[in-house]
A and B are shown apart, each in its own frame.
Chain A
């Protein structure tokens, strides 16, 4: 069964405390893995797309990596404005997106 699991469900960090969010997946015919950021009451905002194992992408304090079974979103020296829910989605071979439940990240000043 196609599935995307994100962990942890919630993560509280102090400002400047680096950590990683996990997205593990089982899906047939992976076309791509997406990371989105969602603020309360707003639509998901695109961060990264990863297509093949070993691929890495960076944007400011965020770095996404991909293996054949999981993806990590590393956040380095986070700031309070990085607080949001981070969603992982996998694009199936039939083009549909399978979403994880998200990780709620809270950065305390």
Chain B
């Protein structure tokens, strides 16, 4: 079965550079979520999109932006990178936002960003 695809899997950047992470949800899933997970920490919710519109916003820094495109894939853009941005970035997708069995979040394998 198709899963959530994230790219790149690993990314190394210098401070103050920019980075873009991509997420391709499970086919027919209309909701995408972005999470940031630091070493030994639980995933921190950044932002989500439902039907190509921002649906919820979490602890996403102003230096970050994201969008969901017409094919439902999503991109997380990070600018003016800081050392503290080094983390695993997970994308998840679901069918709808409602609290039903179909709203299970399926996670991608993650993109590991290292800022030097």
Contact = CB atoms under 8 A, between A and B. Distances in A.
Interface of A: 31-32, 34, 36, 41-46, 49, 51, 87, 91, 94-97, 99-102
Contact of A49 (B43, B44, B104, B110): B104
B105 A34 contact: yes
Interface of B: 4, 33, 41-45, 48, 55-56, 58, 88, 90, 92, 97, 99, 101, 103-110, 112
13 contacts: A32-B103, A34-B104, A34-B105, A36-B107, A41-B112, A44-B90, A87-B43, A91-B103, A94-B56, A95-B48, A95-B56, A95-B99, A97-B105
A44 B45 contact: no
Contacts of A97: 33, 45, 105
Contact of A43 (B48, B97, B103, B107): B107
